[in-house]
Amino acid sequence: MTAGPGPAAAGAPVSEEIRRARVYLSRAVEPPNRHLVALVDRYGPVEAADRLRRGTVPDALLRAAAARRRIDLVDADLDAAAGAGARLLVPEDPLWPAWPFAAFAGCRRPDLVPPVALWVRGAADPAVLVARSVTIVGARAATRYGLHAAADFATTLARHGIVVFSGAAFGVDAAAHRGALAGGGPTVAVLACGPDRTYPAAHEALIGRIAEEGLVLTEYPPGTRPGRLRFLVRNRLLAALGTGCLVVEAGARSGTQRTASDATALRRPVMAVPGPVTSALSVGCHELVRGGQAVLVGRPEDALEIVGRFGADLTPPLVTERRPTDGLAAPTLAVHDALPARSAWPPSRIGEASGVEPDGVRAALTELEQRGLVEYHQGLWQRPARRDRC
């Protein structure tokens, strides 16, 4: 499953100084903060951390960091993470998912900035997992239909080698993770709390299994509690990490739609699974399609075509039942339709009823006889017994 340098190599070439600087920065300023990202871009993490500690940073950043910049919990954070089985991943690591996060650079929305660092549980290689991926999001209070659809799409996508990213929440998130695991694929949970926390608590076993089979990621330092704002902020990472974003059920106004907006802003295709128009939890999906923000996907294969290998994972044509009259030319079909269910007619009468010329009637009857759709007896034509009319 992993290619390139294995997990053991994670961070090996990165200096402790850089890693400690990023641990400090990831706690000092609540994400997302574009001023912090700009500072690190300009000076690198080590000098950026020094400047923030000394207070020699632009006012906007100084204000944003006022509550925490004097707090040094680097050792404690590293210890707490290690205790929870989590390791630090920084942009300087070869395993950093650089390609997905490059989308932030081309995006003008001030809240869409990359994380300063990631805390990671699980042995899989993040850089590999993001290569062919889909983010599945949707309602926590999903219906049975939504849970089924999320699991079904996730299973099929996982079977085709697509890694499913989601948020480990109740409802669609959990169904997507479970479906991916059922499909034999790794799956990645991106959390809105510290790596040492399990949210929701009821998903402790699920999140543990995700860490075993895939990865659990968060940009929040150990101890961080989740909250409504952090869910929204976390969603930008989900949007960036999937090659495409699949919305399964969403209310009219929901965090899910915000994730879809983030994905659009990051130039990720957004897909929406439709549902009954009578379901309040499909309204958001339908609005996304109606507004042109999402394409409708009715089958997992439709999604695979979008996030899969270009040209290789094309949607197979729909297989449909064939009717015995399929492929008949219009005059032949007219002759077929003209014959009554239980009477036998001469060709002249069939011609009148169908409006088809005598030669055409003869040709049509011959073709229909070959297909077993009409029978001839003593100058008269009739339908075989027990055939439906149309």
Q: Where are the alpha helices (DSSP H) in the chain?
A: 16-28, 34-54, 59-65, 74-83, 98-105, 126-129, 144-159, 172-182, 204-213, 228-241, 255-265, 283-290, 300-307, 330-338, 347-354, 358-370
Which of 301, 308, 371 minimizes the C-alpha distance to 336? Answer: 371
Cβ closest to a copy of itself, residue 6 vs residue 324: 324
Binding to a copy of itself by residue 363, rule CB under 8 A?
no
Considering the complex, what minimum distance in angstroms separates the CB of residue 149 from a copy of itself? 6
Name the segment binding a copy of itself (CB under 8 A); options: 81-89, 175-183, 272-280, 365-373.
272-280
Binding to a copy of itself by residue 260, rule CB under 8 A?
no
The amino acid occupying position 321 is E
Q: At 158, is the secondary structure helix, strand, or coil?
A: helix
Cβ closest to a copy of itself, residue 15 vs residue 348: 348
Considering the complex, what minimum distance in angstroms separates the CB of residue 112 from a copy of itself? 13
Binding mask 106-145 for a copy of itself (x = CB under 8 A): -----x---------------------------------x
d(CA 187, CA 257): 22
The amino acid occupying position 300 is P
Choose, by CB under 8 A, the member of 282, 307, 308, 364 that binds a copy of itself.
282
User: In this structure, are residues 209 and 235 in contact, taking their beta carbons and an 8 Å threshold?
Assistant: no
Considering the complex, what minimum distance in angstroms separates the CB of residue 380 from a copy of itself? 17
Name the segment binding a copy of itself (CB under 8 A); options: 126-134, 239-247, 334-342, 363-371.
334-342
Half-sphere exposure (Cβ direction) of 167: Cα atoms closer than 13 Å = 30
User: In this structure, are residues 142 and 167 in contact, taking their beta carbons and an 8 Å threshold?
Assistant: no
Choose, by CB under 8 A, the member of 15, 357, 366, 372 that binds a copy of itself.
357
- Residues counted in the chain: 390
Which of 286, 285, 124 minimizes the C-alpha distance to 212? Answer: 124
Binding-site size, a copy of itself (CB under 8 A): 65
Binding to a copy of itself by residue 330, rule CB under 8 A?
yes
| Cβ neighbours of residue 387 closer than 8 Å, sequence gap 6 or more | 373
291-301 exposure pattern, b = at least 16 Cβ within 10 A, e = fewer: eebbeebeebb
Site for a copy of itself in 161-220 (CB under 8 A): none
Residue 324 has a CB neighbour count (10 Å cut-off) of 13
Binding to a copy of itself by residue 283, rule CB under 8 A?
yes
Considering the complex, what minimum distance in angstroms separates the CB of residue 336 from a copy of itself? 8
Binding to a copy of itself by residue 102, rule CB under 8 A?
no
Cβ closest to a copy of itself, residue 178 vs residue 286: 286
Name the segment binding a copy of itself (CB under 8 A); options: 48-56, 154-162, 327-335, 369-377.
327-335
d(CA 315, CA 305): 6
Considering the complex, what minimum distance in angstroms separates the CB of residue 116 from a copy of itself? 12
Binding to a copy of itself by residue 380, rule CB under 8 A?
no
Q: At 107, is the secondary structure helix, strand, or coil?
A: coil
Choose, by CB under 8 A, the member of 1, 9, 66, 105 that binds a copy of itself.
66
Instruction: Please compute Rg for the chain using Cα positions.
Output: 30
d(CA 233, CA 11): 26
Cβ closest to a copy of itself, residue 186 vs residue 300: 300
Considering the complex, what minimum distance in angstroms separates the CB of residue 124 from a copy of itself? 29
Binding to a copy of itself by residue 290, rule CB under 8 A?
yes
**Which residues make up the interface to a copy of itself (CB under 8 A)?**
29-30, 63-68, 71, 111, 145, 148-149, 225-231, 251-253, 273-278, 282-283, 286-287, 289-290, 295-299, 302, 318, 320, 325, 330, 333-334, 336-338, 340, 348, 351-361, 389-390
